[in-house]
Structure 1
Amino acid sequence: MAEEDESSKERAKQLDFIRPFLNQFRGDGVKISSEPVWAERIEEILANLEPDILDDITGRIRQSSENQLIDFEAFGKTHKLTPAEIKMVDSVVGGLSVPEHAAAHNISVNTARVHMQRVLEKTGSNRQTDLLRKVFGR
């Protein structure tokens, strides 16, 4: 009985570790966690993972992540970014171009370009690669 409780606690810790990484995954340019159907499905899958598979997934994420999650809200606060500008940074980090970001968020490409320009100005970046270096702390 105590072994089951310990196993349940370990499983809960592993799932809590995995969730923030899942929140950064995208499907069609939209965060999976922002789509209730996808979020529910992911939770369903996680709940049914075999313990050895969950151990393997957790281990691989730990190895590949170098314990680096991006806190977009904190980055935005540091640089006085608006919520729309934070979304732009999130999209660029996720590999989207400015036009792809515009399409994913139902805004015009011109509006997205303005957001990107303001992000670059506020972060003191000359181009998107400079921005990415700042986001990743390099």
Structure 2
Amino acid sequence: MLPVDARIRRSRDFSSALKRGSRAARGGVVVHWAPAPDPQATPSTTPSDAEHQAARAGFVVSKAVGNAVVRNTVKRRLRHAAAEQMRSWPDGVDVVVRATPRAAERDFAALSRDLAQAVEAARSGKSRRPRKTDRP
């Protein structure tokens, strides 16, 4: 289960992560990886909500994915997969996971694999997979 303090819930936190994050898509998910903002770059006298300690994840599952039952199933699977993977994420990072319509067709193992690959790609800055023509 994903702890409450590890969830992104506010609209402004989602927006901030989408604006400052790097993006990568794999299978049924699109991931926006937003590392913690540098406190020296934006000095402030009061700590903001964006300056949190633990890694956080937020999920977006639109009606394009399916009906309410399908959307909730996809969201539960993604939350569970993210909870397992968050242990390896650095503190202060915000990750927004957006499910695509393909997510409804994928089982838990495939969604978990998609999430792990997309997080790794967004984290490293490699937003696309090499094409067959790009490979030696």
TM bin (shorter chain): under 0.3
Higher RCO (CA 8 Å, separation ≥ 6 residues): 2
In terms of fraction of residues, the more helix-rich structure is 1
Rg larger for:
1
TM superposition score normalised by structure 2: 0.26
